[in-house]
Structure formats: structure tokens, C-alpha cells
Structure 1
Amino acid sequence: MRVTYRNFLLLVLMVIFISGCTNLEPESSRELPEDFDFSLIYGTYGKQKIDTYNNTVIKDLVENGIVEADVTLTEDEMNRIYNEMVKIDIMSDLNLEGDKQCDVEPPSISEWKIQINNEINSIAYGNYCEHPEVILDLIELEDFIHEIVSSKDEYKALPDAKGFYE
């Protein structure tokens, strides 16, 4: 098969055009929406809270009540959280109503309010006998966010919890 200069040039232009249409942007560089915020109420009895709308955190001290602190997440931390939310498509209808929840004492509660691009999504769930995949994703996201918050100096300065729930 004979390749002419014209055919070769056409092939090069096609490759450039096709590669230009492909999104090669890494996940970590997704643009963070200006209005991205969330609040997460979670943990035993839903006593802990992370709220980026008001830059506050509530820590459950168990026997000693709760304590609140001002904690602001950096743009990089918010971007990492946003990208994790996008991965699990948190703004979609996650259809949690059909899954069977269990009565567990003490109960663990999770309530989310997420705002992205002028849309707000609210998600709430408790304990499950068998965790559906979407709940496991949300639990991993909770743990990821809690890890970020608990590494902050403002959080570390809070008193340690005393006691435990039975």
C-alpha cells in the first residue's frame, strides 16, 4: 500500500482532531464550583457535624456533651472532597428508600446537604442490615471527610471524647 504525502498529512490532522476532542483532563483538576458547600450530620445519634456553609464542626464528646469549633477547609481540601463526590455521583437520585434499614442501638445517623452549581441535594440514612453499594460509598466519603477535618489544628485542639456508647 502506497502512502502519499497528502494521505499522511490527512492522517496526522485526523489524529490531532480526535485527540483534541478527547477529555484528557485529570479528575483532580475539575473546576471547583463557586457555590460548592455541604453539611454532614453523622455518627452515633447524629451528634457530629461538619458544615462548610458556616465553617463549623461539632464533635461528640459522649459523656461530656458536644463541642463546636470554627474549622475552614482549604480550597485544595474542598476540591478533593468535591472530586470524591463527583465520583459517586452524589447529586443524582441515589434511591435509598427501597433498601432495608435495621434497628440498631445506639443508632448511627447520616444526613447530607450538598450544594453544587445552584442545585441542592439532601440525603439521609441510618443503619443497614446489609450495606448497599451506594451506602458503602457514602460511608467511605464520610470517613474521608472526617479524616481531613480531624487532621486540622482547630479540631485537634478540641477535648477528647470521654466514655462510649453502649
Structure 2
Amino acid sequence: MIITPQKIILSILSLSLILVAGCNHTQDNTNQKMPNDFNFSLTYGTYGKQKVDTFTNVVVKDLVEDGTIEANISLTQKEKQAIYNEMMKINIMGELKLDKEKECETEPASFSQWNVKSNEETKSFSYTTYCEYPEDVLNLIKLEEYIHEVVSSKKEYIALPEAKGHYE
């Protein structure tokens, strides 16, 4: 076998591509199989009056002037898997930078409290309103909105009374 400079260069390039591809490989957490123990509880919104709890299949809707109303609403496996995928995209079980020092008081106050269980690990955290929103908090707010869309599109939620009034 004759080793030519072209074969050496081609071999080096091939190895380099393999090494670069291996080094740049990151675990894709976006479409993992949802663990059997996956559940979450999210208390959110103005004064933290709304809630979605998959541990107990309870949803709380803020009716503003009429208080709150609680309903038994379950998410389907498909809905939970989609929410799980969104959580993995933002690495919710990882180290979140919530920058508490950037929180500020507003009226009406907004509050979010999360409890997430996945793979026998439970993570809890909370935050309020920010003057400057850290990227992780913006991602969590988008996730809250996504979860709210999923829940509010369910027939059991639609059957609940409409909110009366609004916060100023």
C-alpha cells in the first residue's frame, strides 16, 4: 500500500471531522422519553392565584372579583410529554439563573412557584416580578404561558366561569 500526501491529508481531515463532531455533540434533551414519575405543580399569575398541579390533577382559575375556582383537570400523556419536552429544552432541572437581586416590586404583584419531579428528583423554586428579566426567567414565563394554553384549551377549563373584572 502506497501512502501519498493526499491520503495523509484526507486521513487527518477525516479524523478532525470526527473529533469536532464528537466534541460539539451535546445531549438533545428535547425529545426524551418522559419518566414515569414526572409531575409538576405551578402556581402563577397575578398574586399567584392560578395553579396547575399534575400531582393531584387540580387546576385553580383566578376569577379576579369572584375569587378563585378549583377544578379536577387531568392532562393527557401526550400533553404531559409535550410539556416535559419544553421543560427539557430550557433545562428546568438544571442550574437556573433567577438573579433574585433583579426582582422588583410592582402592583399588582406577579408570583410563580414551581415544583417539578422527574427521575426521582424534585426541584422547587420561585420568583416574582423583575425590573430586568434574566433569560432563564423569560424562558420560564414562556413555559408558563404554554402550560396555561394547554390547560385553558381543555373542555373542563372552558366550562369554568369567566373571570369578572381585571387587576389594575
After TM superposition, is the score higher than 0.5?
yes
| Alignment of 1:81 onto 2:93 | no
**Structure 2 counterpart of 1:161, from 131, 138, 163:** 163
Deviations 1:5-38 (A, max 9, x none): xxxxxxxxxxxxx9xx99998944x211000000
The count of residues paired between Structure 1 and Structure 2 equals 148
**Structure 1 counterpart of 2:68, from 66, 69, 89:** 66
2:8 alignment counterpart: none
Alignment TM-score, normalising by the size of structure 2: 0.82
**Cα deviation, residue 155, structure 1:** 0.2
| CA RMSD across the alignment | 2.3
Change (3 A) 1:130 1:72: same
Alignment TM-score, normalising by the size of structure 1: 0.82
**Cα deviation, residue 98, structure 1:** 4.6
**Structure 2 counterpart of 1:47, from 4, 25, 49:** 49
Change (3 A) 1:80 1:127: same
| Alignment of 1:38 onto 2:14 | no
- What amino acid does structure 2 have at the position aligned with 1:76? K
Runs of 5+ unmatched residues, structure 1? 3-17
Runs of 5+ unmatched residues, structure 2? 3-17
| Cα distance in 1 for residues equivalent to 2:27 and 2:68 | 45
Change (3 A) 1:86 1:163: same
| Cα distance in 1 for residues equivalent to 2:111 and 2:100 | 17
1:120-131 equivalence runs, <5 A: 120-131=122-133
